[in-house]
Structure 1
Amino acid sequence: MESLSFPVDLSDLQTKLNPLFQSILALPAVQSAKPSSTADGVAVLLLLLSALGYLTHGRVWDRPDPHHGIWFERPQLADGASSGRVAATRDVAQKLTEGDYHCVIFWGSQSGTSERFAETLGRECLSHFGISALVADISDYDSESISKIQSKHLAIFILSTYGEGDPSDNTAGLWDWIKQVKDKKTRVENLRYLAFGLGNSNYKYYNRVLDVVADALDNAGANALMPRQKADDANGGTEEDFQVWKDDLFALFRKLGFEQKTVEYQPTIELTFSGETNSEDSNPATSLIHQQTSTQSAIVPLTIKSAHELFAAGDRNCIHMELDLGNQDIVYKTGDHIGIWPCNPEEEIKRLLNVLGAQARMHEYFSVKSDNDSVKPKVPSLTTLEAAFRYHLEICAPVARKTVQEIAQFAPTPEAKAKLLEIGQNRERYEQLTSNTHITLARLLQLASPTEQWTSLPLAFVIENLLPLQPRYYSISSSSVIAPRRIAITALVVNKTIGDKSTSTIHGLTSNYLLSASDVTSNATVPTPSYQRMNQGQRLQGSKVLAHVRKSKFKLPITSSTPLVLISAGTGFAPFRAFLQERTKLHVIGKPVGKILLFFGCRNKDDFIYQEELNKIQGELGYKLKIVTAFSRDGPKTYVQDRVGEYAAEVLELLDAGANMYICGKASMAREVDMKMEDAVSKAKSLGETEVKAWADSLKKRGKWKADVWG
């Protein structure tokens, strides 16, 4: 055992401390406080020890580690060679030159779609044209260095817009720099760029981030080599819009002199089957790929305690389900979201396994190895095909046109290949097919080759081209104050018929999964999918679903006397049920409660969810609660935004009195509510367009106007 050594000479330290001790002992307070008891003696001793500890801190004990900073360095910055460490540059222009890149592809992404598009484009630039592309998270570089990019390089921006026209979190630095560019503090005459935006036209500020960035660059002298293009996810068109833009981009590359190559499929992952089989699925609770963060809890299995139907009649279902948190290490707050992790329906799993000719290997374990460490895994490192298709991959999603073209090379017959190329290379033919038929991967393969199995289609290709299965989020409809260990979900079961009714129905994956788990009888006129339960063979009691909680900013004000304006349509009422429960409880125990103006819209009175509960709450709150309803299919067609317009004066009065306004429901409804309110305040206060926008923005920035909406 090595002997201990001190970093300072103790005799030297004693020499330095002696004068201090003598000074302390010479103090009148110390001399007059001669110990008269054991307790006094201990007190003096503790005083001296405290002084000693203070003076020796950092010298004898708790010395700072000179190598402490290494723990916070990025591993990729370390160079194992003898040359020492090389700091990674945040100057993108320097990076392009040093790495001999042709172009940079910047991505700004909130949900991961822009990032995926950028990575795909980077690979295809190299494989199709030999163009070396730097795929860059914008936050990894100083945005000011964009102005130094040379004209021999190209800059491609793939930017998403979400919420109230907001940029993604990783685009904050770019957003700040763009403000400088707009203020004419920066010029970018050498910059040659292209831009593609992701957004949803149901939202008020559709693709605002793309427009703000592109306008600023144009005004600062940049050269846009192609008109900006926008993806619109309002009708699920993002994938096709990206493909069309990419086709135009590749045409531009050809004009610039780059030769396009014929590319053979090269897998980016390697599957290795072990030969070991298991008839049981892997445990999805431990194998789902999910990043636990400060805003998202871990995934846990939650027990269904109860479930019942909310609609009084009709051919649709709306499920109220209660999940028990039990002893799980998970909490929620009123207004949060719950992410439900569904599994794929049995019919689609069997269809895909059969058409691939993979039934014999469905229970065989395989591992996945990627040739690129930056590629995020879609399935666990050890799983089975059945588990991958059930829990991890979106096998019910429509197939992109690009994928249709690429699958053709693996067709089992010349006829199947010709059919796929006809669909994949002709946009009109593809759109005609997908508008009338729900084309999943398995159904596409069956359509192209009804009799032959696709045994030549690599399973690696299948996994690469299927998207990872994602959770679906629901606003929690229970109050954490009233029911802290129980989460309520309000879920409309979606079954969308496309084309002829006999042709195809798109079943909402998670809503039908919850319906199946609830034991509520389906009201649909079409057959509903069947799902495997986590505890197969049991009835509702004890059945579980996998879920995690996501924090939300959609919160009640701290002061209960603050008035509320609640605007909702359909299941958008879910968080307001929790808000009302909480306010009612406070009122019952004698706390002051502000006035509440509730707007609720639905098709007809049979769809009036939680009507009995609302009547009871109305009885408790009395004049404190005013309910305004709108029925679009019962009497004169009236939507909730119409009713907001009718009561705009009362809404404005409440807002002027300090009320908080909340909107929950479809984005298109929220957009029209915004228009109604802006029109009302313009007329009531004689404000111009700029002043109206400033009024609305002020309320939103102060948290007085909140929206929780979906596409």
Structure 2
Amino acid sequence: MDKEKKPLKDVSYAVFGCGHKDWVQTFHRIPKLVDTTLEQLGAERLAEPGLTDASTGEVFTNFETWEDDVLWPALTSKYKTTSSADDSKTKGVDVTISNPRTSALRQDVREATVVKTATLTKGGDPRSIKKHIEIKLPEGMAYTAGDYLAVLPINPKESVHRAMRQFHLARDAHLSISTDGPTSLPTDTSVPAHDLLSSYVELSQPVTKRNLVTLAEYAKDEETKALLNRLAGDAYAEEVSTKRVSVLDILERHPTVDLPIGVFLSMLPPMRVRQYSISSSPMAHASNVTLTFSVLNEPSLSGQGPYIGVASSYLDSLAEGDSLHVAIRPSHAAFSLPSDTEHTPLICVAAGTGLAPFRGFIQERAAMLAAGRTLAPALLFFGCRSPDHDDLYRDELDEWEARGAVSVRRAFSREPDGSEGCKHVQDRMWRDRGELVELWKQGAKAYVCGSRGVAESAKETIIKIKVEMEKAKGEQPETAETETDSEKVKEWFESLRNIRYVTDVFD
């Protein structure tokens, strides 16, 4: 496109971008590129770009802040109109209750079928249950090892019952919604209240600052108004966002807030898909995928009942033959098996369900070996609690190890005597660093999948090993302040990201 001709000179725009700080080299690169490209093509920037970091968990709040403080003032100045952010009270949508039953689903997903489910853990804490589910994909839906499966869930029944109770809705109540504004809710049709609350809105989403201001407007007493306005201010991060306090939590905690159900529904984000790393390879079964997941059910940080994972509880509720709605989402381009599998060794690091993509990798390597291919070595460092509780896929991994598809090094946090004294996966990496270094010298590619803590520990261990190597060569002074303070080594590590060192971090 010829930028000199300014083909977008009659276009106005504003950009709000979301990124994740763990992807250092590409953090906010795309929204910034979109902004500068549109400007170069002649478009008029209406407002300064807004940027947010998905790792903070405050994407919606940050967007609302940018919308109120930057976007709306720019729009009102440009078009001489009244900002919707200036409305004294959020009106929400108009709702009437009726009885006929209809319901609909609208998302960029297709229907799949559950083939099999299994519990991978044995005994122990019921809050640490790990599950396996096999799903038959719809015709024409393909994937590669390392990809994600996006699942459109429904809210936990406990959350739905709380909402029904809060608004005094009978089990067979229907809602008919009408609005002049945009909405993701079904409009001008009668929908069972239970279906709408189950399938269309995020009941567990943390309340935003804007929500809190609106809730304060509907409070009947000044004390509650003041409290909610305080929560919308400096107290938000510590008392709301960190504790994942929802709109429903606020309503139950403060019964003097007389919120209409229409306003409640307008506050809630639409139900979104959740992404899970696929734990299988299409070389094993091209039309089926498997997922490996933890069932999240633990005391809530808000102090109001259990915190139940929306997607994990939904997957846990499914049985053979059940339908669900899914889509394939590609992983980061770097988080895939190397094209030269014959000459590129693998180093995989995982804890718990972070094993998922590596099961797919190893399953694919086993299929390659069965087809007569020669492969470079693969080393898997895996951390879990104990061999009798959550040593996931032990029989499969033993079989694949016997075939030469992988060598597994485990770390049992509760029984370290069973893993060479290593409690955590980084301990095992350090103990077996000689083999790790040897594979690295052969051109290995390293992958890490797990929590932020696992990723940070793996990074620190890699840096520690590199420092030891440099000292052995006489290139690192023995008097360095600490082993991980070497800027040279840190620069070396950053140069590896998304090339020879790739992470997939989940919170």
Normalised-by-shorter TM-score class: 0.7 to 0.9
SS at match of 2:31: helix
Change (3 A) 1:262 1:195: closer
Contact in 2 for aligned 1:435/1:498 (Cα 8 Å): no
User: Could you tell me which amino acid in structure 1 is paired with residue 167 of structure 2?
Assistant: L
Match for 1:109: what amino acid?
A: C
In the other structure, the counterpart of 2:503 is 707
Deviation at 1:300, TM superposition (A): 1.4
Root-mean-square deviation (CA), in Å?
4.0
Equivalent positions of 1:398-477 (< 5 A) are 398-411=206-219, 414-415=220-221, 418-426=223-231, 439-449=245-255, 454=258, 457=260, 459=262, 461-477=263-279
CA distance in 1, matches of 2:300, 2:316: 21
- Deviation sequence 1:559-598 (CA, Å, 0-9, x none): 3312111111111111111111111122233211111111
1:238 positional shift: 5.8
Mapping 1:541-552, distance limit 5 Å: 541-552=320-331
Unaligned runs of 5+ in 1: 1-71, 73-85, 96-103, 111-159, 178-192, 201-231, 250-259, 291-298, 518-539
What is the Cα deviation at residue 482 of structure 1? 0.9
Contact 2:341 2:375 in 1 (8 A): yes
Contact 2:17-2:49 at 8 Å conserved across structures: no
Q: Give 2:292's aligned residue.
A: 490
Gaps of 5+ in 2: 39-46, 71-82, 477-484
User: Does the alignment pair 1:558 with 2:339?
Assistant: yes
**Mapping of residues 155-170 of structure 1, within 5 Å:** 161=21, 163-166=23-26, 167-170=28-31
Superposition map of 1:266-277 within 5 A: 266-267=90-91, 270-271=93-94, 277=99
Paired residue type of 2:255: S
The aligned amino acid for 1:422 is: L
Query: Equivalent residue for 2:162?
Result: 351
| Map of 1:678 onto structure 2 | 463
Q: Do 2:216 and 2:228's aligned partners in 1 also have CA atoms closer than 8 Å?
A: no
> In structure 1, what is the Cα distance between the partners aligned to 2:491 and 2:235?
47
Kept after mapping to 2: 8 A contact 1:436/1:504: no
Q: Is the 8 A contact 2:449 2:503 kept in 1?
A: yes
Higher CA-based Rg? 1
**In structure 2, do the counterparts of structure 1 residues 88 and 239 end up closer, same or farther at CA, with 3 Å as the change threshold?**
closer
Aligned length: 461
For the residue of structure 1 that corresponds to 2:497, the secondary structure is: helix
1:322 aligns with 2:104: no
- Encode CA deviations 1:438-472: one digit per residue, 9 max, x unaligned: 7433342233228x9x4x6260x223311221111
Once the two structures are superposed, residues 307-361 of structure 1 have per-residue CA deviations (whole angstroms, 9 ceiling, x without a partner) of: 1110122123111000112x53311111110011110123322332342345499
For 2:455 and 2:309, the matched residues in 1 are separated by: 23
User: CA offsets per residue over residues 530-573 of structure 1, 9 Å max, x none?
Assistant: xxxxxxxxxx3321121111012221122331211111111111
**Equivalent of residue 571 in structure 1, options 335, 353, 378:** 353
Residue among 428, 437, 443 paired with 1:652: 437
Q: Cα offset for 1:481? A: 0.8
Asked if structure 1 preserves the Cα contact closer than 8 Å seen for 2:156 and 2:308, the reply is: no
Matched with 1:516 is: 317
Q: 1:175/1:634 Cα in 2 relative to 1: closer, same or farther (>3 Å)? A: farther
Structure 2 residue 106 is matched with structure 1 residue 288:
yes
Letter in 2 for 1:480: P
Question: How many Å separate the matches in 2 of 1:684 and 1:428?
Answer: 47
Maintained 8 Å contact 1:477/1:574:
yes
In 1, Cα distance between the equivalents of 2:302 and 2:194? 32
The one-letter code matched in structure 2 to 1:304 is V
What is the distance in 2 between the residues matched to 1:495 and 1:341? 19
Do the aligned partners of 1:560 and 1:593 also contact (CA within 8 Å) in 2?
A: yes
Secondary structure of the corresponding residue to residue 380 of structure 2: strand
Question: Highest relative contact order (Cα 8 Å, sep 6+), 1 or 2?
Answer: 2
Q: Deviation digits for residues 42-76 of structure 1, max 9, x if unmatched?
A: xxxxxxxxxxxxxxxxxxxxxxxxxxxxxx9xxxx
Q: From the superposition, tell whether residues 304 and 458 of structure 1 become closer, same or farther in structure 2 (CA, over 3 Å).
A: closer
2:442 aligned with 1:634: no
**SS state at 2:185 partner:** coil
CA distance in 1, matches of 2:32, 2:22: 12
CA distance in structure 2 between the partners assigned to 1:393 and 1:168 by the alignment: 30
2:18/2:53 contact within 8 Å kept: no
CA offsets, 1:236-279, max 9 Å, x none? 46667888999999xxxxxxxxxx99851254x65475x87433
Q: Kindly state the Cα deviation for residue 196 of structure 1 after the two structures are TM-superposed.
A: 7.5
State the percentage of identical aligned residues: 24
Is 2:150–2:328's contact at 8 Å kept on the other side of the alignment?
A: yes
Any idea what SS the aligned residue of 1:607 has?
Answer: coil
**In 2 relative to 1, CA 399–700 (structure 1 residues): closer, same or farther, beyond 3 Å?**
closer
Could you tell me which of 397, 402, 413 is aligned with 1:614? 397
